[in-house]
């Protein structure tokens, strides 16, 4: 009986284990993002209460739909850049980190100055469905972006632990010689 059960369980190929680990980190990131998301909305509300540049507020209020759609673009660019940066050589990570910070500054500035998506119903009276989709899109986008941030933090944390364990293993091997 034992021999038949062990023959059914094959040893996972290292690439399959890596895929499972990435999937586990991604699912954990979504779970953490779901927990953290209400706090992110609170931070954004605080940021939104910051002083505004009148000229930028007027510019973005002139075409709210374009402003909202571009906010989706800024919001999507940052997590994509974070995930892209994970695949770069260490020499490029500082440059990519700086680029992410610049994108975050642009996105936060844009968010603070664009018309509130909550006012969509007031601005476009017969567009309740579109306005609901817009608000849902912002929530979903923010949730996925938060998950990407958490994923990046987890990957960096696990990579750091792996490097730390490797250094300890190298020290033990060097002392044994």
Q: Map tokens 């954990």 to a residue.
A: 28
Residues 6+ apart with CB under 8 A from 54: none
Q: What is the pLDDT of residue 13?
A: 63
Residues 6+ apart with CB under 8 A from 139: 37
Burial class (CB in 10 A: 0-12, 13-18, 19+), 57: middle
For residues 137 and 72, is the Cβ–Cβ distance under 8 A?
yes
Give pLDDT tens digits for 68-127: 999 989 888 888 888 888 787 777 778 888 888 899 899 889 988 999 888 888 888 888
Is pLDDT above 80 for 50? yes
Give pLDDT tens digits for 76-90: 888 888 888 878 777
Residue whose C-alpha is closest to residue 82's, from 101, 110, 68, 69: 101
More confident: 18 or 84: 84
Calpha distance 36→169 (Å, rounded): 36
């Amino acid at each position: 009986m034992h021999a038949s059960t062990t023959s059914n369980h094959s040893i996972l190929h290292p690439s399959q284990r890596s895929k499972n680990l990435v999937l586990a980190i991604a699912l954990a990131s979504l779970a953490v993002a779901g927990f953290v998301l209400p706090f992110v909305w609170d931070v954004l509300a605080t940021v939104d209460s910051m002083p505004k540049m009148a000229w930028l507020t007027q510019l973005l209020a002139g075409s709210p739909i374009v402003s909202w759609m571009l906010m989706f673009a800024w919001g999507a660019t940052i997590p994509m850049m974070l995930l892209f940066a994970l695949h770069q050589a260490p020499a490029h990570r500082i440059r990519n980190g700086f680029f992410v910070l610049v994108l975050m500054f642009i996105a936060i500035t844009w968010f603070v100055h664009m018309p509130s998506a909550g006012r969509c119903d007031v601005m476009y009276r017969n567009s309740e469905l579109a306005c609901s989709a817009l608000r849902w899109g912002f929530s979903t986008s923010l949730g996925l972006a938060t998950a990407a941030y958490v994923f990046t933090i987890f990957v960096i944390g696990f990579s750091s632990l792996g490097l730390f364990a490797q250094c300890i293993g190298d020290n033990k091997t060097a002392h044994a010689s």
